[in-house]
Amino acid sequence: MKKKYFGFALLLSVYNILLAYVIFEIFERGIILYVLLAILGTVFLFFTMYNWLVRPVLDLKKQLEESENIRKEFVANVTHEFKTPLTSIAGFIETLQEGAQEDKEIREKFLDIIAIETARLARLIDDLFIISEIENRKTIDTKETFDVITVLAQIIEAMEPIAQGQGIRIVLESEPHLVLHGSEDRFRQMLVNLIENAIKYSGNGKFIVVGAREERDHILVFVKDQGIGIAPENIHRLFERFYRVDKSRSQKMGGTGLGLSIVKHAASLFSAQLTVDSTFGEGSTFSIHFPK
C-alpha cells in the first residue's frame, strides 16, 4: 500500500514538472493556465488513485461486512432450528416427570413426539455435516462414472413408499446409456432432496416426473411436480440455507430447510447449472444441467 501511495505522489510530481515545462518554456503561457491545468491534472490523478487504491479497499470491506452478516444470520438460524425441537423435547420430558407418565395414552403420545423431534435434530445435524463436507471439497473426482438411469431407478424405488403414502406417483422418463462423471453419492443426495421436496409440496393424486436426457452440450436431469408452485419473488431465495417457501408445511413434513442448499452445493461440484421453472399453483421443475 505504501508503494502505491509513493507511486501516486511521484506521478503527480512528474506531471507538475512536465506541465510547468510545457506551459512556460514551449508555449510561454502565464501562471493562470498552469494552475488551471495543474488542478485538472490533480483531479484526474485523484480519481485514478481512488480507483487504484481506495475502491478495492472499500469493495473488500463491503465483502467482509456481507460475509459477517451471512455468518450472523447462519448462526441465528442454526440456533433457532436447534432450539425449537430441544425446547419441545424438554417440555414433554418435564411434563412426564411431573406425573403424566402414569397415563399410558399420554405417555405414548409424548414419547412419539420426542422421537419425532429427536429424528428432526438428527436430520438437521446430518444435513449440516453434508453441507460442510461439500463446501470443504471444492472439486469432485471425475474418474468415477455411473449410469444415470440405473441410479434414478434405484432412487425412485426407495422413494416410492413415501410418495405412495401421500397418494403420489413417481414416473421415470429417461434415455438409456447416459453416463455421468463424478460422485454417485452426491448425485443421489441431489435427487433424493429434489424428490422429497416435490413430495412435500404435491397433493394426493398428483404425479412427479423424474427424467434425464442428452442435450447438445450437456446432460439434463430434472424433477417435475404438480405441486403448489413457487411465487416469482421467492425463486431467487430457494437455495438459501433454512429458507422455506411454506415453513409450516416443511416443518410438518420433517424438513430441515437445508435440502435445496445441499442440491446447490453438490451441483457446483459437478460444475453443473441449476435452474428452476415454476408456475404458482401449477407446479415446479428443477433442472440440473451436467456438462458432458
**251 in the same domain as 168:** yes
Residue 272: what pLDDT?
Answer: 92
**209 in the same domain as 117:** no
Q: Which domain does 215 fall in, by range?
A: 145-291
Condensed to tens digits (0 to 9), the pLDDT of residues 250-259 reads 555 556 677 8
DSSP secondary structure string, 16-70?
HHHHHHIIIIIS---HHHHHHHHHHHHHHHHHHHIIIIIHHHHHHHHHHHHHHHH
CATH number at residue 36: 1.10.287.130
**220 in the same domain as 105:** no
**149 in the same domain as 120:** no
Q: Pick out the chain residues at pLDDT < 70.
A: 1-55, 58, 66-67, 69-77, 80-81, 137-142, 244-256
Structural domain count of the chain: 2
Among residues 136, 171, 195, the one where a domain terminates is 136
Residue 13: what pLDDT?
Answer: 57
**158 in the same domain as 32:** no
Residue 243: what pLDDT?
Answer: 72
Among residues 115, 136, 157, the one where a domain terminates is 136
Condensed to tens digits (0 to 9), the pLDDT of residues 278-289 reads 888 888 999 999
Bridge partners (DSSP) listed for residue 210: 172, 223
pTM of the model: 0.64
**46 in the same domain as 124:** yes
Q: Which helix (H) or strand (E) holds 86?
A: helix 55-97
Residue 290: what pLDDT?
Answer: 94
Residue 2: what pLDDT?
Answer: 46
